[in-house]
A and B are shown apart, each in its own frame.
Chain A
Amino acid sequence: MPTDRRDFLKLAAASAAGLVAGGCGWEGGSFKSVLRWWEKPNEVLQRALTDPHRFAKEHPEGREGAPFPQYFISPRLPTVDVASWRLKVGGAVGNPLNLSLADLMRLPRSTIRVRHYCVEGWTAVAEWTGVPVAELAVAARADPAAGFVEFRSFDSGYWSSWDRESAFHPQSLIAYGMNGGPLMPGHGAPARLYSNRKYGYKSVKYLTEVNFLPVNTGGYYENLGYEWYAGL
């Protein structure tokens, strides 16, 4: 029990915070504009603090740590017939592509073994094999003026858009292999975006489209209020 008015006020403060936290259905009111305004300076600060050209440290085998959780927004695990699946590469490109998994596997590939840091607090090491987004841009002859890359999926329409610089980092992959084998349905097969330079919700699984665009088209969680740049 509070022993004096000061303790009572502290308890009241904690209760007020708890009530507000519990009532997270609140739409934000006038805070929204302030928070939206603050995102841009925050992005500038993140770009300044994190070298966009830095390579993630490669980890030796046997240091996987925790298993990689599976994420999707659909009510059930999204699956597709691999033989008929295609990855459409479009937007501001000179050579639109419609790639089968075999086509994707024929493009220049890269394998990275890096530690992933999740916004939820866990980390895990995994090996990823796939086509660097920059190589996809070369194959599609993407317009250098297209400053954004949009990734779309068959996971109930989940999507995200990236700044060109991050997407074109050599360790940003359209991955179809994981831990020395094929990418499995629980991890975004037939192909997913992977980079450890951004939080996991930016790495779109179950890909259907990669579009090189002159505009930022947001993203599923980004439009719900999560940070758009989300750099690490």
Chain B
Amino acid sequence: MLTRSAQAGHSMKRDFIVATLVAGSVAAGCARETEDRPSMPDERKVLMDSMPQGPPADSMAAEMERAWEGDSAR
């Protein structure tokens, strides 16, 4: 039969293992979302800043409306 202090020691060990597992799991989850940046070849990158400014969103929406109506009329 375990003494009271031995039981307390086992509990502490168990808590330490649980704590380690919890911390490890969170760390693993974080690591999944913080891996290296995408390794897309530079020549295929289309950076917004290097692109010509597109039309205002409302005029693009109007263009989409016209295309949609033209398609519906066909």
**Interface residues in chain A, defined as those with a beta carbon under 8 Å from any beta carbon in chain B:** 5-6, 9-10, 12-14, 16-17, 20-21, 23-29, 31-32, 34-35, 74-83, 101-102, 105, 152-157, 159, 176-177, 181-186, 189-190, 208, 218-220, 223-226
Contact = CB atoms under 8 A, between A and B. Distances in A.
Interface string B21-50: 011001110111111111110001111100
A223 B23 contact: no
Contact of A223 (B11, B36, B61): B36
Nearest to A39: B32
A182 B33 contact: no
Contact of B55 (A9, A81, A184): A81
A154 B51 contact: yes
A190 B64 contact: yes
A154 B46 CA distance: 7
Nearest to B41: A217
B26 A17 contact: yes
Interface residues of B, number: 42
B15 A6 contact: yes
A156 B15 contact: no
B31 A29 contact: yes
A177 B35 contact: no
A43 B54 CA distance: 38
Interface of B: 8, 11-12, 15-16, 18-19, 22-23, 26-28, 30-40, 44-48, 51, 54-57, 60-61, 63-65, 67-68, 70-71
Q: Which of B37, B44, B61 has the most CB of A within 10 A?
A: B61
Contact of B15 (A10, A27, A80): A10
**Which applies to chain B's interface (DSSP): helix, strand, loop or mixed?**
helix
B47 A157 contact: yes
Contacts of B34: 24-28, 224-225
Given A13-B18, A28-B34, A21 B26 contact: yes
A184 B61 contact: yes
29 contacts: A9-B12, A21-B26, A27-B31, A27-B36, A28-B31, A29-B31, A31-B27, A32-B31, A32-B35, A75-B48, A79-B56, A80-B60, A81-B60, A83-B63, A153-B46, A156-B46, A159-B40, A176-B67, A181-B68, A183-B64, A185-B60, A185-B61, A189-B61, A218-B38, A219-B38, A223-B36, A223-B37, A223-B39, A224-B34
Given A182-B65, A185-B60, A5 B48 contact: no
B38 A224 contact: yes
Contacts of A12: 19
A191 to B, nearest CB: 10
A79 B15 contact: no
Contacts of B28: 28, 31, 34-35
Given A157-B46, A182-B65, A79 B22 contact: no
